[in-house]
Amino acid sequence: RAVQDANPGGRPVQVVAHRGASEDVPEHTLAAYRKAIEDGADALECDVRLTADGELVCVHDWRVNRTSNGRGAVSSLELADLAALDFGSWKGSPGEPEAPDRYDPGERSRVLTLTRLLELIHETDRRVELAIETKHPTRWAGQVEERLLEVLRRFGLDRPAPGEPSAVRVMSFSSRSLRRVQTAAPDLPTVYLMQYVLPRHRDGRLPAGVRIAGPAMRIVRANPGYVARLHRAGHRVHVWTVDRPEDVDLCVELGVDAIITNRPRQVLTQLGR
Ligand code: G3P
Ligand code: CA
């Protein structure tokens, strides 16, 4: 059913495609992001990891085993090794009757670099925001963030355009990773991801400098009042991963600011968009 499409502050609820339109198309591939943009997603979510030769690639797991035909840790492989793997064949296409033929086989199976994803957004003729999650930041002691900011700088995205909200935000479960980003790029919004609520965050206050809270849907379901507490503490609230219609309804009722979902088309339809 269609539900109200704005939070109590009157801001529209953003629909963010988690790993692209990843229910239908293999996650983190160019095809998954193309589909999310076609589906009308307001923003895209991606995870980034460093390869052995210092490239940022969009891969969720620390190893490539689940989502490719290869084996091993992303951090032990060079970009050329990853480029030789197939990141698409592991997944069927339940929601895409015409796929995989609909996509260039490379776009549906090749490893995606952050640079290529930013190029796709740049080529798009409407505003599409990007939420980038730093994975495994502690092992790399600052290199993930350093490289990330270098890439964003190249696209002029390390700070918002004057008078506009930032098109990019950096997310992490690690407050240390977010602090590094805040120090190097103070105008870039950061999202503190939460798997569970630590006692020191129960009142809604998050690590210094963090503007956006990223609670798991599980937290919101168990404690709906927490969204209002986060809002009162001055944070926006971006909830993940919201795939069930009843969870979408709850998020809208609570006035969350963004819904991060594997099925952006279905969520947009539910929102009447
Ligand atoms: O958007 C946040 C969410 O992606 C965090 O969990 O494991 O899917 O990266 P995960
Ligand atoms: Ca993620």
In this predicted model, what pLDDT tens digit does every residue of 186-210 receive, in sequence order? 999 999 999 999 999 999 999 999 9
The ranges assigned to domains in the chain are 14-62+113-270
> How would you classify the pairing of strands 190-194 and 168-172?
parallel
Q: Would strands 212-215 and 14-18 be described as parallel, antiparallel, or unpaired?
A: unpaired
Local structure of residue 46 (DSSP, 8 states):
E
Give yes or no for residue 60 CB within 6 A of ligand 1: yes
3-class secondary-structure state, position 17: strand
Task: Give per-residue pLDDT as tens, 157-184.
Answer: 999 999 999 999 999 999 999 999 999 9
Ligand nearest to the CA of 260: 1
Tens of pLDDT, residue by residue over 217-248, are 999 999 999 999 999 999 999 999 999 999 99
How many residues belong to the chain?
273
Give me ligand 1 centre to Cα 72, in Å: 21
Superfamily of domain 14-62+113-270: Phosphatidylinositol (PI) phosphodiesterase (3.20.20.190)
Give tens-digit pLDDT for 110-127.
Answer: 999 999 999 999 999 999
Which of ligand 1's atoms lies nearest the C-alpha of 173? 5
Closest ligand 1 atom to 45 CA: 1
Residues noted as catalytic: 18, 60
pLDDT at residue 94 in the model: 55
133 touches ligand 1 (CB under 6 Å): yes
- C-alpha 128/C-alpha 155 separation (Å) is 14
State in Å: Cα 218 to ligand 2 middle.
15
User: Which ligand is closest in space to the CA of residue 193?
Assistant: 1
Tell me, letter by letter, the H, E, C secondary structure of 194-229: ECCCCHHHCCCCCCCCCCEEEEEHHHHHHCCHHHHH
Looking up tokens 């998020």 gives 251
